[in-house]
């Protein structure tokens, strides 16, 4: 108690738990976290001006808040808080990882200019300024990118599996960012002036997907990401494959191409049966990676139509 008041009070204690869930290092290896956290908490309570403020700081309340925080995070076999908190926050972080990848792809493919804040090529769990203005280790990111390119050239699908297995290091986001920026650079006109086409899904998991197309002439790009997949993620499962997505499919415009390649995996995406040629099963879309940016294997020209022969081979002919 400080001056007859709990320190921290319930609001500040709740704020601390929210902060820990949002900023706790996913690999638990950030030696600077404790000091950064304490500085942020003091900044927050001073700006709240309830128990302390910049012009009239209550050092006793601030010290009590900091001591309470240190006790919560003290590494000890007897620390019941950490024993319950760490599994919980790891589940939250795993689900948040899929949200981050989805947001990254949507940002890159949506109309407008994608803004990548310095340092956020990897996971960025910084607090507000000045914490988010710390120097960025660009040399480390450059090394990571070179290693990713080398691994991709040897076994791209194996690399994707490794990135998902070791998502904590953030290289999965770096790889995704690199692939998306490369595709944008190669198709600058599509993203600068291409039409935006919202897409709808059908099936049991239809509300768990967000998708849209960008189109300019014969060139298309489909941006497809999962949403609200916490039920799977909190069980430790990536939102991949037919077991999760079942018969859920994406409906495409009638004029859309039939055959697609994935920018991220480099693999073709199997279409729906011939009876539904303008559909994509999400189990095929999310076969190797939890988000997808698709482009046509062979763009269809404005004076061409497409159809499949009896063997399922794409043919093109004048309209």
Q: What is the domain partition of the chain in residue ranges? A: 10-74, 97-318
- Residue range 31-67, pLDDT digits in tens: 899 999 999 999 999 999 999 999 999 999 999 999 9
Least confident of 17-31, 118-132, 152-166, 299-313: 299-313
Question: Measured in whole angstroms, how far is the alpha carbon of residue 110 from the centre of its chain?
Answer: 15
- Residue range 76-85, pLDDT digits in tens: 999 999 999 9
**Which residue in 221, 243, 223, 248 sits closest to 232, CA to CA?**
243
For residue 286 the two structure tokens come to: 């999310």
Ranges 21-25, 229-233, 312-316, most confident: 21-25
Q: Is the peptide bond before 130 cis (omega within 30 degrees of 0)?
A: yes
Q: Is 241 helix (H, G, I), strand (E, B) or coil?
A: coil
Nearest-angstrom CA–CA distance, 33 and 102: 26
219-226 vs 200-202, strand pairing mode:
unpaired
Tell me the fold of 97-318. Answer: Immunoglobulin-like (2.60.40)
- Residue range 165-223, pLDDT digits in tens: 999 999 999 999 999 999 999 999 999 999 999 999 999 999 999 999 999 999 999 99
Question: What's the pLDDT band for 305 if we cut at 50, 70, 90?
Answer: very low
Cβ-contact 233, 95 below 8 angstroms: yes
Task: For tokens 């499919």, name the residue.
Answer: 249
Task: For tokens 């319930």, name the residue.
Answer: 10
Nearest-angstrom CA–CA distance, 166 and 159: 10
Nearest-angstrom CA–CA distance, 233 and 231: 6
* 241 pLDDT higher than 60: yes
């Amino acid at each position: 108690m400080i001056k007859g008041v709990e320190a921290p009070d319930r609001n500040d204690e709740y704020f601390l738990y929210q902060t820990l869930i949002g900023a706790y290092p996913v690999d638990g290896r950030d030696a600077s976290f404790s000091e950064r956290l304490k500085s942020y908490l003091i900044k927050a309570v001073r700006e709240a001006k309830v128990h302390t403020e910049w012009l009239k700081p209550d050092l006793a309340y601030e010290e009590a808040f900091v001591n309470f925080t240190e006790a919560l995070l003290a590494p000890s076999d007897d620390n019941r808080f950490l024993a319950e908190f760490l599994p919980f926050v790891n589940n939250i972080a795993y689900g948040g990882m899929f949200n981050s990848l989805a947001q990254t792809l949507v940002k890159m493919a949506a109309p407008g200019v994608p803004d990548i804040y310095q340092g956020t090529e990897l996971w960025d769990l910084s607090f507000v300024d000045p914490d988010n203005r710390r120097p960025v280790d660009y040399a480390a990111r450059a090394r990571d990118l070179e290693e990713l390119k080398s691994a991709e050239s040897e076994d791209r699908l194996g690399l994707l599996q490794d990135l998902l297995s070791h998502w904590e290091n953030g290289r999965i986001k770096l790889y995704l960012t690199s692939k998306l920026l490369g595709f944008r650079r190669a198709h600058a006109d599509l993203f600068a002036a291409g039409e935006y086409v919202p897409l709808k899904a059908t099936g049991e998991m239809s509300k768990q997907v967000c998708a849209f197309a960008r189109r300019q002439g014969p060139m298309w790009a489909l941006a497809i990401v999962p949403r609200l997949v916490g039920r799977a993620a909190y069980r430790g499962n990536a939102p991949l494959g037919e077991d999760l997505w079942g018969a859920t499919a994406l409906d495409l415009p009638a004029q859309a191409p039939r055959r697609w390649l994935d920018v991220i995996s480099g693999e073709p995406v199997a279409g729906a049966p011939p009876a539904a040629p303008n559909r994509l099963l999400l189990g095929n879309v999310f076969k190797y990676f939890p988000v997808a940016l698709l482009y046509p294997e062979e763009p269809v020209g404005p004076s061409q139509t497409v159809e499949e022969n009896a063997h399922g081979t794409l043919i093109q002919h004048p309209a």
